[in-house]
Structure 1
Amino acid sequence: MKATGSNVNLPKMEEEVLDYWTKSRTFYKSNDQRKGQKEFAFYDGPPFANGLPHYGHLLANTIKDTVPRYWNMRGYYVERRFGWDTHGVPVEYEVEKNLNLKGRQDILDLGIGKFNELCRESVLHYAEEWRKTITRLGRWVDWDNQYRTMDLNFMESVWSVFKSLYDKNLVYQSHKVVPYSPRITAVLSNFEANQNYQDVQDPAITVKFKLSDEDAYVLAWTTTPWTLISNLALCIGPEIEYVKVKSTENGEIYYLAKERADAVFKKKKGEPDGYEVLANVKASELAGRHYQPLFRYFQHHKNAFKILTDDFVTTTDGTGVVHMAPAYGEDDFRVCTAAGIDFVDPLDEEAKYKAIIPEFA
């Protein structure tokens, strides 16, 4: 074995090895030797082609290289096609940022065709940079048969799979509450939504809903008052204890969770009560009762404006009563759908009220 001097240039040695692998097509030859052998399937989630790889990518790609190499050396055939996720918000956002586009209308003014072509150019630019980095890292992948989600054959393969599922009656049409961006007028994936998730202090309001069969109100708490126009139900916890109280300030009668009464009426230790308890009330006594709509827009909506029950309601904050707008909350949608209440959505793609709400349209 050749002796190694004390002044070893490791980067240069790495580059010499990489150059040898490339010119000799070492990876492809090693895989060809395993063709016909038992296969080991390695599922590799493709990266977004909207930026340069960072250290997290380098770590992940080292692991993704180690596992297939191990099984290949064990005698298995391991296909390692490299792929690119070229669709969705990350790519579009990169182009919007570079062109200082502010939203959907700016894209329409530019032209959908032009915008798509710029997205394509951006993808191809970053794909080439990724190839350089992955190759320099020493990861063995099949560049000759790489795929991109924007390639026609890839898209057609997805449609083919979807058609197979449809033909087997495994696909149905329905609705689902999902993260949505009114600025880009598009649905966000959970990954995209979580990237921008922040804990913030938000103002909240307590709203009184007039019962139809009694001169009394049910108190509900919400941090999203813009959804009140779309309110179709109230929800209480089946195991929560409620109270009927009379306000010492205005004499009105309210229903709310017993555990939340002091907080709602802002009673502090040593101060006089802001309310008088008239009765303890079980959730079952409130369930099914109807109340008057806050707004007239959907007042004749089928099965709406009644009190429902579900375990997701808590007394951690609020009043122990949740206002339900099924178009804008997963639990709201689930509970209302089970009760036969269809959602209403008076907002357009930019989250502005439609003409059905003329005061705010």
Structure 2
Amino acid sequence: MGLAGRYDPLSVEEEIARWWSENRILEKVFRRNEGGPVFPFLEGPPTVNGYMHVGHARGRIYKDIVLRFHEMNGLYVWRRGGWDCLGLPTELETEKRLGIRSKKDIERIGMERFVEEANKLVDYYIDHWRKASERLAVWLDYDNAYQTRHESYMEHVWWLIEQAHKRGDLVESYRVVPFCPRCETPLSSHEVAQGYEEVEDPSIYVKFRLQGSSNQYIVIWTTTPWTLVANEAVAVNPYEEYVRVKVGDEYWILASKLVALVLGALDVMNYEVVERFKGSALVGLRYEHPLIEEVPAHRGHEPPAHTVIEAEFVTMEEGTGCVHIAPAHG
């Protein structure tokens, strides 16, 4: 193979790829060590809803290095590619291409057209990913790559679920999951991470008025104010000391070790500690939900809802020592 006087990486790359093709190198590699010990590799499929970026390329190169290593050590490497064609990423990209913004728009144009456009999108990106992977010399069996949109694949998944059911490995239960109101679907952790960014959110202190009292409150601190609508309990540490503090005409209950921190943060200069007791003395007290008017459904929540409970996980490092509990938010 001759090289030009001036090194041109693109022409060298093209010439090597052409030489591989003319000499059917991939076919020979795929058959190498056939009959020997097998190293099976079924690719965890990339989602084909966009172009390959450098992070994708790095991951695919790492895979290829492992396969070449085992092949050079005498193993027969069974290497099958795959493409993830379904799911929210593909749907969102299809929506962008069609210029639609909601599920109502999908109903308006019709599911058949939406699915047709989604398949066109997948075809386009599979072609891109295959060419890019071959250019990287990531050697997998792309001719027989599985696609999650194919009925044969989906039927096999259902078959596996059926086998799990027959073995008694499936359990019907409840699980708290992220939900997207715009997409009208639960989200996986990977889908949530796609839009992840660090932002500064305000933390707030909230007074929960004790039932039967007009001026006594348990004070909680939360970094997730949106979960207050689902509050069902307040947890205290039964072994730590708590205090009742007189602030103006009100009495606030919080952990003794955190009084200075909390009242300092709230710019409360004048206060008086009128009583000290263990957290266990608070257990069983009931309080009014702070958003009872906005969420009237809470009126029907019977004990142990809206009750002070004990929990040793409550620490004295931050907050008020009184932890707002919202099970619906995990």
For residues 156-208 of structure 1, the C-alpha deviation after alignment (integer angstroms, 9 at most, x for no partner) is: 22212222222211111111112221111122211221232233233444332
Alignment of 1:288 with 2:289, yes or no, is: no
Counterparts in 2 of 1:175-194, with a 5 A limit? 175-194=174-193
Query: Residues 167 and 7 from structure 1, CA distance in 2 versus in 1: closer, same or farther, beyond 3 angstroms?
Result: same
Which residue of the partner structure matches residue 307 of structure 2? 306
What RMSD over aligned residues (CA atoms) do the two structures have, in Å? 2.6
Query: Residues 141 and 116 from structure 1, CA distance in 2 versus in 1: closer, same or farther, beyond 3 angstroms?
Result: same
For residues 126-169 of structure 1, the C-alpha deviation after alignment (integer angstroms, 9 at most, x for no partner) is: 11011111111112110121011111111122212222222211
CA distance in 1, matches of 2:316, 2:199: 20
CA distance in 2, matches of 1:150, 1:81: 16
Which residue of the partner structure matches residue 273 of structure 2? 277
CA distance in 1, matches of 2:50, 2:19: 29
Question: Shift of the alpha carbon at 1:30?
Answer: 2.5
Which residue of the partner structure matches residue 325 of structure 1? 326
Query: Residues 109 and 272 from structure 1, CA distance in 2 versus in 1: closer, same or farther, beyond 3 angstroms?
Result: closer
Question: Shift of the alpha carbon at 1:80?
Answer: 1.4
Which residue of the partner structure matches residue 78 of structure 1? 77
Question: Shift of the alpha carbon at 1:245?
Answer: 1.2
TM-score (norm 2): 0.87
Question: Shift of the alpha carbon at 1:31?
Answer: 2.4
Structure 1, gaps ≥5 residues long: 331-361
Query: Residues 169 and 273 from structure 1, CA distance in 2 versus in 1: closer, same or farther, beyond 3 angstroms?
Result: same
Question: Shift of the alpha carbon at 1:214?
Answer: 5.9
CA distance in 1, matches of 2:147, 2:18: 26
- Report SS of the residue matched to 1:299: helix
| Structure whose residues are more often strand by fraction | 2
Question: Shift of the alpha carbon at 1:51?
Answer: 0.9
Which residue of the partner structure matches residue 24 of structure 2? 25
Structure 2, gaps ≥5 residues long: none
CA distance in 2, matches of 1:133, 1:272: 63
Indicate if the aligned counterparts of 1:84 and 1:149 stay in contact, CA closer than 8 A: yes
Aligned residue pairs, count: 324
TM-score (norm 1): 0.80
Counterparts in 2 of 1:64-143, with a 5 A limit? 64-143=63-142
Question: Shift of the alpha carbon at 1:239?
Answer: 5.3
Query: Residues 277 and 39 from structure 1, CA distance in 2 versus in 1: closer, same or farther, beyond 3 angstroms?
Result: same
Counterparts in 2 of 1:99-248, with a 5 A limit? 99-212=98-211, 216-238=216-238, 240-247=240-247
Q: Match of 1:280, as an amino acid?
A: R
Indicate if the aligned counterparts of 1:233 and 1:306 stay in contact, CA closer than 8 A: yes
Q: Match of 2:43, as an amino acid?
A: D
- Report SS of the residue matched to 1:145: strand
CA distance in 1, matches of 2:73, 2:105: 55
